[in-house]
Structure 1
Amino acid sequence: MTDSADLHTLTGAYALDALSPAEADEFTRHLAECPACAQEVRELRETATRLAFAVAQVPPPGLRERVMWALPEVRQLPPLVAEPVVVPLRGPRWRQRLPELAAAACLALAVGTGVWAVQAQQDADRARDGSVQAEQRASDLETLMAAPDATLRTGSMQGGGGATVVASQRLGRAAFVYHDLPPLAASRVYQLWYSQNGSMVPAGLVAPGRTDGTQILAGGPSGSDAVGVTVEPAGGSRTPSGPPVMVVPLAS
């Protein structure tokens, strides 16, 4: 049995679940008879909760789904086998170190929650940036389509996939609207080019990993007779490294 005087010193350890099962059971019985200790345990637990919520943030939409989808790919670690560590919970040394241990536990909780919050915020920022870019592309395409001199020309790729090039000489803009492009290895990317008098001028890259979408071409279509697509190393090339896999004429 633990001395009654010692039981009063175990509120912090009980609040942090640092007692052994036997001592936790004994202290639980003590709480039913000691309103002062019960109040102190409630206050300690509320403080730990406030520390966690001080750095907590609402996770971005879809985070749970991404985590659940990733779980099957995570290899489970083997169980750790180690000698049990017995921490004495009574005596002067424990009472002296209790504030340090409680502070360390709260700090670990706050730091761990803070790291998750930072990661969640970065995930939310990336999702927000992607949404803003998608809205901008949709607005640019709408403007192009509404231009009085807008032209639409289509092309197809051997092996599947196709695209429509929307161009306006008046606006000096063109868009590449693509669908069902064959997937590429991570080290390769589709690159767009303006064909001008037999020369290929770089006009941007299709977003890696995307098989459907819209890409606003860099530069304008003036002086160009077609838009070509080649497969290049990740990051793109200054000049085509092979023949085009698709050519979309700009003039009928």
Structure 2
Amino acid sequence: MTAEIHSLVGAYVLDAVDDLERAAVERHLRECGECRAETAEWRETASRLADGAWSVPPPGLRDSVLAAVATTRQAPVLVTQRKARRSHRSRWVAAAAAVVAAAGTGTAVFVVQEQRVRDERTVAETVRDQEAEVRGVLAAPDVVLRDQVLADGGKVTVAYSRLRDSGVLMMSADAAPAGGRVFQLWTVRADVPVSEGVLAVGETTVVKVLHGMSSASVVGVSVEPAGGSAAPTRMVAGVKTM
């Protein structure tokens, strides 16, 4: 629910939420300084874009702009809420810039609201799907929990269910790797390491759903250069699942 409230900040600023969502966001803003700052940023952006925003959009503008947005590569949904919020804000700024370049500020609010609906729906659905998968694994009758201390401090826990053929990796490190290096997640399948995701520089926590656990003998974490490696170079944890 917290991730969904974070994702509604932009819609709240544009008054594109219902009464229940507005009450939830306003309650959250009283407790979250980061979201209050983000709300202020959105209001400043919206005020700049809103000059003359109520003019009628020229014919075909909506379809042409949304088509351009649809063909623009989107950043994947992040494993941490902070990165998700940064990625979400960047998509808004990019969409707004495209609108201003194409047609000036006259139709900015119209297109930004349209893109907001699409982005919010995608983020909310992704969060709900991941939460459902995590709950399903943890509630499975055959769930197995195994954990290991990270070499540099912290812990990684793996919960997996053979019945669901899925697992959940939960990591909380005491500190980020030094020198701009990052954590990378792995499974070992048929003695071959397979990357399961790379954290961003400075990130120390992650909850990752893993599929096809019936073929994974080890779930591990390594420290790699930023952007990750094709094969693990320095393992800091390895949890056996077979």
Relative to the length of structure 2, the TM-score reads: 0.51
Instruction: For structure 1, list consecutive stretches of 5 or more residues without a partner in the other structure.
Output: 1-55, 72-105
Q: Given the alignment, which residue of 115, 125, 128 partners 1:132?
A: 125
Contact conserved, 2:173 with 2:204, CA < 8 A, in 1? yes
The answer to whether 1:225 aligns with 2:197 is no
What are the ranges of 5 or more consecutive residues in structure 2 without an aligned counterpart?
Answer: 1-12, 18-24, 30-34, 44-50, 56-103
The one of 40, 44, 48 aligned to 1:68:
40
Cross-structure match for 1:214: 207
- Structure 2 letter corresponding to 1:244: M
How far residue 234 of structure 1 moved from its aligned partner, in angstroms, is 4.9
Which of 168, 179, 187 does residue 175 from structure 1 map onto? 168
Shift of 1:233: 4.5
Partner of 1:58: 15
Q: How many residues align?
A: 159
> Residue 175 of structure 2: SS of its match in structure 1?
coil
TM alignment of 1:229-248, pairs within 5 A? 229-240=221-232, 242-248=233-239
Contact 2:142 2:162 in 1 (8 A): yes
Is 1:250 matched up with 2:207?
Answer: no
Q: 1:229 to 1:213 in 2, by over 3 A?
A: closer
Cα deviation digits, residues 130-153 of structure 1 (max 9, x gap) = 332222111101111222221111
Name the SS of the counterpart of 1:132 in structure 2.
helix
Output the amino acid matched with 2:214: S
Aligned residue for 1:225, secondary structure, equals strand
Q: Structure 1 stretch 166-175 or stretch 125-134: which is displaced more?
A: 125-134
- TM-score by structure 1 length? 0.49
Identical amino acids, percent of aligned pairs: 26
Instruction: Measure the CA separation in 2 of the matches of 1:117 and 1:234.
Output: 38
Higher Rg of the two aligned structures: 1
Alignment RMSD, CA only? 3.8
Q: CA deviation at 1:176?
A: 0.7
Asked if the contact 2:198/2:227 (under 8 Å) is kept, the reply is no
Does the CA-based 8 Å contact 1:59-1:121 persist in structure 2?
no
Q: Is this contact kept in 1: 2:53–2:109, CA < 8 A? A: no
What is the 5 A alignment of 1:2-151? 57-58=14-15, 65-66=37-38, 68=40, 110=55, 111-112=104-105, 114-116=107-109, 118-119=111-112, 122=115, 125-151=118-144
> Shift in Å at residue 117 of structure 1?
5.0
